Structure formats: structure tokens, C-alpha cells
Amino acid sequence: MKFTIYAIVVIGAAIIALLFLAGCTSLEKTAHTYVAAAQNAPPAIVQENTAGTKVLADGWIETIPGKTGSIIKQEDIASLPEPVRRYFEWSLVVGKKRISSFSVIIEGRIRNSTDAEWMPLIMRQYNRIDRIARIVYIESAPKMMQGIDSYAEGTGRMHIKVANLITVADSKGPEMDVSALVTFMNDLVLCPVAYLSLPVRWKEIDGNRAEMEFTHNAHTIHAVLTFDDKGQLLNWQSDDRYAVVKGKNVQDHWSTPIEGTQELAGLRVPSSGKGIHDYNGTPFTYIELERLHSLTLDAVALPPRVQK
């Protein structure tokens, strides 16, 4: 009888423990919650019945975001600065539909300093265009590292844990908000039709360079995009991002040179590239993206886990 009662107590405790663990919110579950919230957030962009461009002061030309699902036509990009028009033509956006969101998987490696060990990295990413949101679930399995890099409702956050238990980084605040907006706009090179679903301002610098400007939630960010003569994107640079150095935010000359191209979902997009910090005059490659895949247009969730 005693053994029976003891066994019942042990089994009951185990069931309670399992129910407790099942109810715990891991970072991955939190990332899915963020995606659901982004889908249900009020629209941040006013979509027009007609699309195209409008000329602003000082040489800026702004894209007019048409309705989600409307077809991008040649005349919608014809008046853009010549290198930008060339880029969109090369990217095969003409004839494609405007989108509300996309998801993609990026694999590569990352490090914290020039003398630090490289860590393998998998990023499963969801970008909401009409609601301006970015949720990236990050994993480095050998290091037991998980994280969420997010931008939602004008707020940026980088939250990293080890073994889903110990927080090793939790960056947020005004500098993170604007940095996350820069990263959101940089992400759109992974799905160029997304640029034409937003009111982005463009200005030609020369035959192969253009400046981009975008405003959201009282933050205005700029970037310089460099193209080759065909229109292929070579580099994307911005001085509006911050790097966290020894616990402090410092202004960063951030760039993401493209090293290869491929065709996904009917679009020409990068196949590999780098992320480079330059906050002290010495460029430092901190991330190398070796494989970009599983691009999904009008996505409704984070991409599934990568099977190894």
C-alpha cells in the first residue's frame, strides 16, 4: 500500500512537472507569438488604388505603394532614378504581385570580435511589410544559443539566451529602435518586390549608386545602394545603425556586400553575403551568410525548422 501511494505521488509530480514545462514559453514560442501579433497589428502603410511614383523636393522620388496583390508594371518603376529602375528590372519584379509579407531561412556563421571563434548560425525570418515588422529566430546549436532579433510597432530588440535559460544579451532602447528599422529595410534585398509595397524615397548619386530614405514611427533612416551596370546589387550601406561595443551604443558605418546571386520565388536575390561593422575606422566582418533559401511570398508564419 505504501509503495502504491508513493508511486502515485511520484507519477503525479511528474505529470505536474511535464505540464509546467509544456506551458513554459521558450524563445521559439515567443517568436511565433511575435509573428501572430504582427499579423494582427493595424496597417502601418496606406495603400493607394493606383501605384507608381511621385516627385518630391531636392531630387527625391517616392514609390507609391499599391494594393497588396496588385501587379507591378513597368510604368510603376519607369520614373525612378536610373540605377534604381535598373535594379528592379534586373531583380525581375515587373509582372510580380505586391506582397504583404515574406519569410526566408539564412544559414551562415557569426562572431563577436576579430579574435573570437566563429559560431554556426541559422536564422528563420519573417518580415511583415504592410505592418512594418521583422521577427528573426536565431539558433546556434553547438553553442546552445537561441535568440530573437525583432522590430515590431516601432520597437527593436535583440534578446539572446543560452540553453533557453540564461540571458546573455537583451539590447533595446532608442538606438536599437532605429538600428532595427535600418535592418528591416536592408532585409528587403532578400525580396525586392517588398520595396514597391512601401513609400520609399530614392535619389540618384551617380550612374551606379542611389540613396534611399524611409520614415517609420518618427525615425528616418538613409542608406546608399551600389549596383553594377546590369543592375545587380553589390552593396548596401548605412550610417544610421548602432553597434553595441563593451556595453555601449556607438555609431556604426554598417554595410552588407553581396557576394552571389540566385533566383528564388521568381526573383533575383542574394545567395551569399557579409555583414560588416565599422565603428572605429577598422572594418570588421562579423557575419557571413553562406546560404539563403526557402523564400516564401505572403508568408503567414516563421519558416519551419531546418532539418540537418
Q: What is the CA radius of gyration of the chain?
A: 22
Over residues 102-106, mean pLDDT: 98
- Return the pLDDT at 50: 87
**pLDDT for res 308:** 66
For residue 261, the one-letter residue type is T
For residue 182, the model assigns a pLDDT of 98
Cα torsion at 83, 108, 154, 251 (round to 10°)? -80
Q: pLDDT at position 65, please?
A: 93
pTM over the 0.85 mark: yes
The x, y and z cell numbers of residue 135, run together, are 521577427
In the predicted model, is pLDDT for residue 185 greater than 50?
yes
DSSP string spanning 121-171? EEEEEEEETTTTEEEEEEEEGGGTEEEEEEEETTEEEEEEEETTTEEEEEE
21-48: per-residue pLDDT in tens?
A: 343 348 999 999 999 999 999 999 989 8
Q: Is the pLDDT assigned to residue 9 strictly greater than 60?
A: no
pLDDT over threshold 50, residue 215: yes
The count of C-alpha atoms lying within 13 angstroms of the C-alpha of 306, restricted to the half-sphere facing its C-beta, is 20
CATH architecture entry for 27-49+95-297: Clam (2.50)
pLDDT digits (tens, 9 = 90+) for 68-83: 999 999 999 999 999 9
- Indicate the pLDDT class of residue 296, thresholds 50, 70 and 90: very high
**The pLDDT value given to residue 165:** 83
Is residue 213's pLDDT more than 70? Answer: yes
Structure confidence at residue 3 (pLDDT): 45
Q: What is the mean pLDDT of residues 293-302?
A: 98
CA distance 26 to 34: 12
Q: What average pLDDT does range 169-189 have in this prediction?
A: 96
- Across the range 162-181, mean pLDDT stands at 92
Region 183-207 average pLDDT: 98
User: What pLDDT is stored for residue 10 in this prediction?
Assistant: 40
Q: What is the DSSP string of 219-273?
A: EEEEEEEEE-TT--EEEEEEEEEEEEETTEEEEEEEE--EEEEEEETTEEEEEEE
The closest alpha carbon to 295, from 135, 104, 141, 38, belongs to 104
5 against 122, higher pLDDT: 122
Report the pLDDT value the prediction gives residue 4, as an integer from 0 to 100: 54
Q: Residue 196 burial by CB count (10 A; 0-12/13-18/19+): exposed, middle or buried?
A: buried
Q: How far is it, in rounded angstroms, from Cα 79 to Cα 83? A: 11
pLDDT band of 275, cuts 50, 70, 90: very high
d(CA 267, CA 97): 11
Cβ atoms within 10 Å of 10's Cβ, excluding its own: 10
Tell me the Ramachandran region of residue 129: left when phi exceeds 0, alpha when psi lies from -120 to 50, beta otherwise.
alpha
Cβ proximity of 268 and 262 under 8 Å? yes
* pLDDT exceeds cutoff 80 at 12: no
Q: What is the pLDDT of residues 127-165, one digit of tens each?
A: 999 999 999 999 997 778 999 999 999 999 999 999 888
282 touches 307 (CB < 8 A) = no
Q: What's the mean per-residue pLDDT of the chain?
A: 91
Q: Which of 190, 175, 194 is nearest to 65 (CA)?
A: 194
The helix/strand/coil state of 81 is coil
Q: Is residue 17 pLDDT above 50, yes or no?
A: no
d(C-alpha 161, C-alpha 166), whole Å: 5
* pLDDT digits 0-9 by tens, 81-103: 999 999 999 999 999 999 999 99
DSSP per-residue string spanning 29-48: HHHHHHHHHHHHSPPSS--B
Please report where in the chains the cell 511535464 appears, as a residue: 18
Structure confidence at residue 214 (pLDDT):
98
Q: Quick one: cell of 47?
A: 495603400
pLDDT, greater one: 73 or 169? 73
